[in-house]
Amino acid sequence: NAGVTQTPKFQVLKTGQSMTLQCAQDMNHEYMSWYRQDPGMGLRLIHYSVGAGITDQGEVPNGYNVSRSTTEDFPLRLLSAAPSQTSVYFCASSRQGGSTGELFFGEGSRLTVL
Amino acid sequence: LAKTTQPISMDSYEGQEVNITCSHNNIATNDYITWYQQFPSQGPRFIIQGYKTKVTNEVASLFIPADRKSSTLSLPRVSLSDTAVYYCLVGERSSASKIIFGSGTRLSIRP
């Protein structure tokens, strides 16, 4: 049972480069989301999706794009990486949004932008 | 979404009961209270959820007073492995609502 799978686990980028963080879940969850966590801080919501074809902005969406073409996948795209985007990124999924139950997290993707 | 306030950090010792209180003065009628635990270098994991009074599972208990403006996560007989960050979330049971985390409480357990 894979749960939520994130790739890559580690990535180093140069300023201005673009990349995509992949997230896939095999639990048929409707709700998926991306968070970033800076050292010593809590999690901040970047973007979320309540179902295939539906996405919306979270607390800190600038500099990131998402799409949800399938229930399983929710990639996060960095359009032009900046040092301020150095962080650990977590993808999470839940059966539904809101507080309906358990949110399952991936192992995280550690991104460094030089 | 109701904003939550938690202590930034707490210290305790092995074998003690630890109570972490979360304030949510603006909680709405349909809001539920959920607690997550996060170990270093890992994503958070669900601990417990409740609406009112008391909820207990194999890991923790959640106490919610009648006015629901606060809640207390109780960890019985903590061990070193309970050292983690604990997040209190308040949100509506709506499938369209986003899930927001606050800053959490950093719990340190000493031998």
The closest alpha carbon to A29, from A76, A89, A74, A90, belongs to A74
Residue B1 is predicted with a pLDDT of 53
Q: How confident is the model at residue B95 (pLDDT cuts 50, 70, 90)?
A: low
Quote the CA–CA distance of A69 and A40 in Å, as a whole number: 34
What string of DSSP letters covers A98-114? TTSSPEEE---EEEEE-
Residue B99 is predicted with a pLDDT of 81
Residue B14 is predicted with a pLDDT of 97
Helices then strands, counting H and E runs in chain A, come out as 0, 11
A89 interfaces chain B, CB cutoff of 8 Å: no
Mind listing the pLDDT tens digit for each residue in A23-49? 999 999 999 999 999 988 889 999 999
Residue B101 is predicted with a pLDDT of 85
Closest residue in chain A to residue B51, using alpha carbons only? A99
Quote the CA–CA distance of A96 and A42 in Å, as a whole number: 22
Mind listing the pLDDT tens digit for each residue in B39-61? 988 999 999 999 999 999 999 99
Cβ of A42 within 8 Å of Cβ of B31? The answer is no
B48 interfaces chain A, CB cutoff of 8 Å: no
Closest residue in chain B to residue A30, using alpha carbons only? B95
**Structure token digits, residue B25:** 């003065």
Residue A2 is predicted with a pLDDT of 77
Using a CB-CB distance cutoff of 8 angstroms, which residues of chain A are in contact with residue B36? 103
Q: How confident is the model at residue B98 (pLDDT cuts 50, 70, 90)?
A: confident
CB pairs under 8 A between A and B: 81
Mind listing the pLDDT tens digit for each residue in A83-110? 999 999 999 999 877 766 689 999 999 9
Residue A75 is predicted with a pLDDT of 98
Cβ of B36 within 8 Å of Cβ of A103? The answer is yes
Contacting residues for B5 by C-beta, under 8 A, at least 6 apart: B22, B23, B24, B102
Mind listing the pLDDT tens digit for each residue in B20-40? 999 999 898 888 899 999 998
Quote the CA–CA distance of B84 and B80 in Å, as a whole number: 9
Q: Which 3-state string (H, E, C) describes chain B?
A: CCCCECCCEEEEECCCCEEEEEECCCCCCCEEEEEEEECCCCCCEEEEEECCEEEECCCCEEEECCCCCEEEEEECCCCHHHCEEEEEEEEECCCCCCCCCCCCEEEEEEC
Residue A1 is predicted with a pLDDT of 65
Phi-psi region of A31 (alpha: psi -120 to 50; beta: other; left: phi over 0): beta
CA A47 from centroid of its chain's CA atoms? 7
Q: Is the pLDDT reported for residue B64 higher than 80?
A: yes
Mind listing the pLDDT tens digit for each residue in A44-54? 999 999 999 99
Residue B70 is predicted with a pLDDT of 95
